[in-house]
Structure 1
Amino acid sequence: MTVRTFLTALSLAAVAAPALASSVIHPASTEMGYTTHPEHAQAGKSRDQVLAEMEQSKKDGLWQYHRFGAPVPVKGKAATRDEVLADLERSQKHPSWALRRVGAPVADVPTLK
């Protein structure tokens, strides 16, 4: 069992090593625990690309959501109450419903009108 654990740890280290080598921060056995290598940083978007995306977001009206870090609303057709209830009933009939359900039963959903 010890040999198996050692081989597993060795294989995980071999897989992780290239990923760590390509990052800016590398682990080190110093007091700080890491070293930084800015030359390993990969180029991202240019300033012009970022400004163009920001202008497009302002035109689309999504800038207000991005500005506050709020989730962007999904464009599309909203489901009706009947469609949601039909989907709920279909889900409740699935064999794994009882295993995934948390909280009170949802079969007796009050009707709001």
Structure 2
Amino acid sequence: TAVIYTNKEEKSNLQNAIVRKRGIFYDVIETNGSVHIEKPKQLESGQLRTQVLISWYDKSDKYVIMAVAYDEDVSTITYLNQELIQLNVNGYRLFLGYGIGEYDEMHMFDKNGNCLEQIKE
């Protein structure tokens, strides 16, 4: 199971961990990187629509992908043909997915299904 979290000291960093249930407890198997998140704002031309972190774990092709969407136009994000789960946490629009596969490009779409570039035009 993949979990995302922030810690008390560094609330502006979004981190991920892989945990495995053991009885009534969970063991942390691996933690992988973090992505700096900013408060949502109105984007201007030339700014990044999302911050993205793709982590591999277990020394294999298993991955976790996290994205924070800053652009309101971003409705859906896919990675390796998988639609990421959208979470709204404390005003942030977070997207999460996990699976097995080699590195690929993430794709963003607006509500009409139009593909969006990472840099806002």
Say whether the fold is shared (TM-score over 0.5).
no
* Greater helix proportion: 1
TM-score, structure 2 as length reference: 0.16
TM-score, structure 1 as length reference: 0.16
* Greater strand proportion: 2
Higher relative CO (CA 8 A, sep ≥ 6), structure 1 or 2?
2
